Structure 1
Amino acid sequence: MNDTVASSSASTKPSFWTKLAYGIGSVAYGTKDAGLKFFLLLFYSQVVGVDSRLVSLAILVALVFDAISDPVVGYWSDNFRSKWGRRHPFMYAAALPVAISYYFIWTPPEGWSDQAMFWYIVGLAIVIRTFITVYETPSTALAPELSSDYDERSSILSFRYFFGWVGGNAMSVIAFVVIFPAFVTASVSNGQFNPDAYARYGLIGSLVIFVAILVSALGTHNYIPHLRQAPVKRDLTLKMIFKDIYRTIAGRSFFALFFASLIAFSASGLSAGLVFYFTTYFWGFSAEQVGAITIGVFFSAMIGGSLAPIVTRWLGKKRGALIVGVIAFVGAPMPIFLRLIDVLPENGTPEIFWIVLITQTIDVGLIICYQILAASMMADLVEQAEDQTGNRSEGLFFAAATFMRKFGEGFGIVIAGFVLSVVGLSAGAQQGDLSEDTIWMLGAVYVPVILTLFMTVIAIVSFYDIDRAKHEAALERLAERKAVS
């Protein structure tokens, strides 16, 4: 398949079923992400009883390995040759290792010391993150290959983010509505604090991850002939490879989007790492109420997935991301701030439950919309780099996107662990055990930290400078070069 045919195919709209299969693939990442973001810190700190700082440090150590694996996998998949193309061999290879390692992180051995548990978490976190990279980077890199159209890319990535959020959120709903209630015992009044519940959660999650990866790989398999082939094989030294990588990604727009997304995902990780601390301790919700609030994220995914293509057409990606981002980022900690200044109704009243449910559902929807726009902006960098360097490197750009997401959210959880330490929330504390001062401090520390991170994102992303006109001009120049070659 030559580049002309691949380019022609990319200019058309992929079928609904192709976009659906591409989107379903993110259920694997969403399931892994929800577990490691929302439950891992709480599970090991409050259920297993490991010092939250050690859990956070274990996550941070695993992130260092991510910094190495992401660009390696991205560059490798851009240049890989096989009868199944550049991306699909990686997708198939990752399915079983991710599923198995994900199961075992929720079934830790009993009686180990904090130090031993630290290395257990480190080892499994590295395996999970490495193999999710092997899958996620080549899989998401299909987006700019499926279409080069400015608007269509936002539509394609809406499928990806919709299913990513729905998949991960479904596991949280299952946990709170089905799993945790089933593990209430005479000695554990809230199944959320029963270690056996997490073994069940890990088993279901690992099966979901395995099936989602295979469904996406098989569902997009017939599109392989329409995808680009690897470039002409070259004899490259390690120095030449890193020089090639730098030439590809160097540019104001990439670095603006890279650092803005890194901070945005750090804020997301911080929020996710503490979300169940807030629902359980700060708001005092029951497991059933937390499950109902979590169900609201399904509606959030619909809001974000539907809104992103509309915003792209009406406002453009950058302007839309700035406007949607400001609204979403200011609104995210607002209920907590209003509680700190005693504006909201008391805990235990129906009103406070509905206020948190509605505001969080809308705000998460806007954040999802922002994430889709940012991902679509990343996809548009592919042609800009190809125009400037002659290299087509979807995998490299989406390796950066995968790294930003994993490192940022993982680092956010690290921050969350230290926030818990600062406010004095002890390991093993049950609902109702915390003093009012500790609960108030949790909100008082969280609000300024999360707002500072989010507002920094808005300031940095404003330096991104690719719009519809620049994207279409780059496509025209690339088409002209191919016509005369």
Structure 2
Amino acid sequence: MPPVVESESRVAGRHRELRFPERMAFAVGDFFGGGAGSLLAVLYLFFLTNVIGLNPFLAGLAVMVSKVWDAINDPLVGALSDRTRTRFGRRRPYIVIGGLALIGVYALLWLPDGPAETQAAKAVWASLTYILYNTVQTVIMVPYLSLSTEITTSAALRDKANVLRLLCSTLSSAGCTLVATALFEQFRVGGLSSTQLYAALVLGIGGFFAVAVLVAGIFSRERVPLTPPTPWQPSLFWSPFKVPAFRLLFGLYLCQILTMDMITALLLYYSSYVVPDVNSTVFLGLFIVVHVAAYPIMLRLVRTIDKARIYRTLIPLALVAIIGVAFYPADAPVYGVYALAFVLAVGLAGAVQMPWVMFPDVVDAYEHHHGQRQAGTCGSVITFTRSLATALMIQLVGGVLAITGYVASEQGADVPQPDSAIWGMRLLMAITVLVLMTAGWLLARRYPLDRATAARIRAELDEQRGS
């Protein structure tokens, strides 16, 4: 283990510095992490197909192409933040710079009347603006996720900070998509002009994200003592996969995030064409209620129960509910969909919230295994996964819509869809969620970091840091 620069007594003293105001300032940073990802998953494909008028296959392809840059961008930012040394810390400068650039990239991302006119030009424009957004998003989120493991060396305080962060993420994810779907509904029926919709997305939601990121970057600090930086090499991006706990966490995260992206990417199409009486705002509102109510429950459970068990226990409920939602009759009473959505949200609550509570334990395992604390490297893999998962889901949904005959439109106009497209939506939702969450349940049973193992690793790291 390389030497560290702080004594055990100083580290112990730093535990006391993490008060609730700072935990709150740190947690609000995930208003952007949770809200922006969900906003794109819910609205961006619909925006490209029903506002810009882009063919659904080209829309998905434009997003997918931008992820090629992420293959370079994410590990570079992770490695840079691991090796940065400034008076303001190694993570916070990136978070602040990204927060300052956020509104500008949002202004380009949601521009309804860009310079392109042909289908090919629109696809290129969408890809370029999404690449720019991904760059800023990575500059913010990779260091922020790394900071979540370094805000304290106290396991109890770290769990509290990360569960609070997840509450903010959940509130933002659901709240922003509620607001945005309501805005799009108003746009579709003529209640909002394209200019008003654009201003609300950029100045309202984009401004909210920028303020949250700046608060986290300015008022949080790092407390885990640093090990000397090592020269960066491409193999470092793959080094987390040498740790069994990281491999399992990677799978658990991928299963739940792809599941949520599939549900949210199809939601506006589902409420417009599959079961037209469904209100997407109410559907998402049920997820808000369930996940907010789950916050204090999760906070108590992680003190006594293994996190992987919390992840998997309620998944069978979600599997039953998704079948009901996907194949719900179009002419049946709409309250049945809402009841199934509630059960679905309950079944997914543990799977959605636990991966990020497990992440600091996995970074500890990485440090224990490699002798270096490369939280940025681990975070870049997770962030890359998040971006790639969204792109994959958008591409998959866009491809299925194109194959099954979906008819694109411009300026939010509703166009009747063939039965083949509607059945494509139903089958895609049911099959993907069933496969992914079954895989998540199986992986959670193999997760190696139970409470005793994680505590033993932290004790050994504390002893090594003290020496």
Per the TM superposition, whether the score is higher than 0.5 is yes
Q: Supply the distance in 2 between the matched residues of 1:17 and 1:443 (Cα, whole angstroms).
A: 45
Helix, strand or coil: the match of 1:315?
Answer: coil
Unaligned runs of 5+ in 2: none
CA contact (8 A) 1:41 1:55 kept: yes
Verify: 1:253 aligned to 2:253, yes or no.
no
CA contact (8 A) 2:30 2:168 kept: yes
Verify: 1:174 aligned to 2:179, yes or no.
yes
Verify: 1:228 aligned to 2:224, yes or no.
yes
CA contact (8 A) 1:253 1:465 kept: yes
| Other-structure match for 2:135 | 130
User: How much has 1:3 moved relative to structure 2?
Assistant: 5.8
User: How much has 1:428 moved relative to structure 2?
Assistant: 1.4
| Other-structure match for 1:393 | 374
Q: Which amino acid aligns with 2:102?
A: V
Q: Which amino acid aligns with 2:380?
A: A
Q: Supply the distance in 1 between the matched residues of 2:50 and 2:444 (Cα, whole angstroms).
A: 37
Q: Supply the distance in 2 between the matched residues of 1:465 and 1:388 (Cα, whole angstroms).
A: 14
TM-score after normalising by structure 2: 0.89
| Other-structure match for 1:2 | 6
CA 1:168–1:109 in structure 2 vs 1: closer, same or farther (change >3 Å)? same
CA contact (8 A) 1:23 1:157 kept: yes
CA contact (8 A) 2:151 2:224 kept: no
Q: Which amino acid aligns with 1:316?
A: D
Q: 1:90 aligns with which of 72, 88, 94?
A: 94
| Other-structure match for 1:201 | 200
CA contact (8 A) 2:149 2:360 kept: yes
| Other-structure match for 1:165 | 170
| Other-structure match for 2:284 | 294
Q: Which amino acid aligns with 1:346?
A: D
CA contact (8 A) 1:2 1:228 kept: no
Helix, strand or coil: the match of 1:462?
Answer: helix
User: How much has 1:365 moved relative to structure 2?
Assistant: 4.8
CA contact (8 A) 1:70 1:399 kept: yes
| Other-structure match for 2:462 | 479
Verify: 1:403 aligned to 2:384, yes or no.
yes
Verify: 1:189 aligned to 2:181, yes or no.
no
Helix, strand or coil: the match of 1:141?
Answer: helix
CA contact (8 A) 1:253 1:464 kept: yes
Helix, strand or coil: the match of 1:392?
Answer: coil
Equivalent runs, 1:298-447 vs 2, <5 Å = 298-337=288-327, 339=328, 342=329, 346-347=331-332, 349=333, 352=334, 354-428=335-409, 430-431=413-414, 433-436=416-419, 438-447=421-430
Cα deviation digits, residues 185-207 of structure 1 (max 9, x gap):
xxx63558x64454133322221
Helix, strand or coil: the match of 1:74?
Answer: helix
Unaligned runs of 5+ in 1: none
CA contact (8 A) 1:248 1:389 kept: no
CA contact (8 A) 1:268 1:412 kept: no
CA 1:111–1:474 in structure 2 vs 1: closer, same or farther (change >3 Å)? closer
Moved more, 62-71 or 308-317: 308-317
Q: Supply the distance in 2 between the matched residues of 1:246 and 1:172 (Cα, whole angstroms).
A: 34
Cα deviation digits, residues 327-355 of structure 1 (max 9, x gap):
33443343223x2xx5xx825x4xx1x33
Cα deviation digits, residues 438-473 of structure 1 (max 9, x gap):
423421343123212222222334332111111111
Q: Which amino acid aligns with 2:164?
A: F
CA 1:463–1:365 in structure 2 vs 1: closer, same or farther (change >3 Å)? same
Q: Supply the distance in 1 between the matched residues of 2:315 and 2:256 (Cα, whole angstroms).
A: 10
CA contact (8 A) 2:261 2:390 kept: yes
| Other-structure match for 2:443 | 460
Verify: 1:470 aligned to 2:462, yes or no.
no
CA contact (8 A) 2:257 2:352 kept: no
